Amino acid sequence: MSRLESTFGRLRADHRTGLVTYVTAGDPDLQRSAEILLALDAAGVDVLEVGVPFSDPVADGPVIQRASERALRQGMTLVGVLQMIADLRAKLAAPVVLFSYVNPILRMGVDPFARAAAAAGVDGVLALDLPADEAGELRDRLGEEGVDTIFVLSPTSTVGRIARAAALGRGFLYGVSRLGVTGARAQLAEAARPLVERIRAVSALPVAVGFGVSRPEHVREIGTFADAAVVGSALVSVVEEAAGRDDLAARVSERARWLMGSAVNG
């Protein structure tokens, strides 16, 4: 059983909503990025999603776009992200999911990437712009290395695409709550619940819901119909605002703890 399977199994047994936290690797720099991951893990988040900075993050809003720009200026690369994870893995209890666009993976090479991801201790890979129909080679190589492939589904995903992602995916499925780019919102999108219901109709895989999640009540609401909430921009904005402070990691951790305050299924 993979770490992701074990984590989501425990969440279901405890009737608790999981929290998946996204931060961009190398933001605001390598050392503090590592400190943030350690602090989030110590705070008890359920899955650590580590973003690979990319020069053209088309699905991301301005907050995460700026984070990618800061990390790239620091010289962060896919190889650097994997090395950081490898250096931290023994200190982290939570599963680690690598969040990337497909271009850096293809540039590195599917086979070298799969071997390096497994060696670093990555538990799952989510290539945001890689449809399940085109993911065969990457999914197969990651599977051979014991790494889960996670697919993204949106409110416009057809029944066929949902079924395909469910058949090929492992670990969990990522449901995008609304169309558009990432970014914190005051209210959870109405499309989130119907999407998860459509996924549940064809798959027993856990479902995590992201895009726009920024408040404890969002996490609580997601817990009434999904397994976990994914929070990204709401944390990355803290990194941006507190980048010059000595307590940066503590502030990010504090925000995660606040979000988890209502992380119980209804």
Domains plus CATH for the chain?
3-262 (3.20.20.70)
CB neighbours of 39 closer than 8 A, spacing ≥ 6?
249, 250, 252, 253
Residue among 76, 11, 17 nearest 221 (CA)? 17
For residue range 27-41, what is the model confidence (pLDDT) as tens digits?
Answer: 999 999 999 999 999
pLDDT at position 213 is 87
Helix (H) and strand (E) counts for the chain? 12, 9
Tokens at residue 159, please? 């029944």
Q: What is the pLDDT of residues 140-183, one digit of tens each?
A: 999 999 999 999 998 989 999 999 999 999 999 999 975 444 44
Catalytic residues: 49, 60
What Rg do the C-alpha atoms of the chain give, in angstroms? Answer: 17
Q: How far is CA 124 from CA 63, 86, 157, 172, in A?
A: 24, 14, 22, 9
Grade residue 189 by pLDDT with cuts at 50, 70 and 90. Answer: low
Q: What is the pLDDT of residues 68-104, one digit of tens each?
A: 999 999 999 999 999 999 999 999 999 999 999 999 9
